[in-house]
Structure 1
Amino acid sequence: MAQVNDTVVKAARLAGEFPWHHHDADELFLCWDGTFRIELEGRPPAILDAGEIFVVSKRIRHRPVADTPAHVLLVEHPETKQYGN
């Protein structure tokens, strides 16, 4: 959607479970519409409703899960792979 300095803003539709993965940089999630959770390895999940933000720190294994479709904005480096490193 946009590039800001050395990051990009991406829009995504979440539905169901995403595979477990991690990144070598932080990843920001902004819940735009709906509700979803970000499951974190060894930690309680982060549950996001519309308007809420959560940052997954680099190298933390995680996976977004949306029981019903949700829309999210992501802020990350342009080279960040969808399924992580």
Structure 2
Amino acid sequence: MSSPTIPVSNPQTQSPVATPAFRAFLSRISTSTRQGFSQRRPWSELIDRNYLARPESLSEAATRIRKNLSYFKVNYITLLALILAFS
């Protein structure tokens, strides 16, 4: 007498990478990243010493910091990401 055959199910499930939702997610991330890097300012402009001057007041220093953060936002985020990656 032979032993009973065990049914084997072969579900047609897709891997998470192959799902359309995951592909759309990756596409959105890729588009956002490209769009963000397109707003990056030249690195030479970020480190140009000719633009360094002592602010005359604390309010002027705060204004400069706010302007620099908005102007060089992508550069600062890139530097932070690199530092975090290396650490």
Richer in helix (by share): 2
Considering Cα pairs closer than 8 Å and 6+ residues apart, tell me whether 1 or 2 has the greater RCO: 1
For the aligned pair, the TM-score class normalised by the smaller chain equals under 0.3
**TM-score normalised to structure 1 length:** 0.20
**TM-score normalised to structure 2 length:** 0.20
Richer in strand (by share): 1
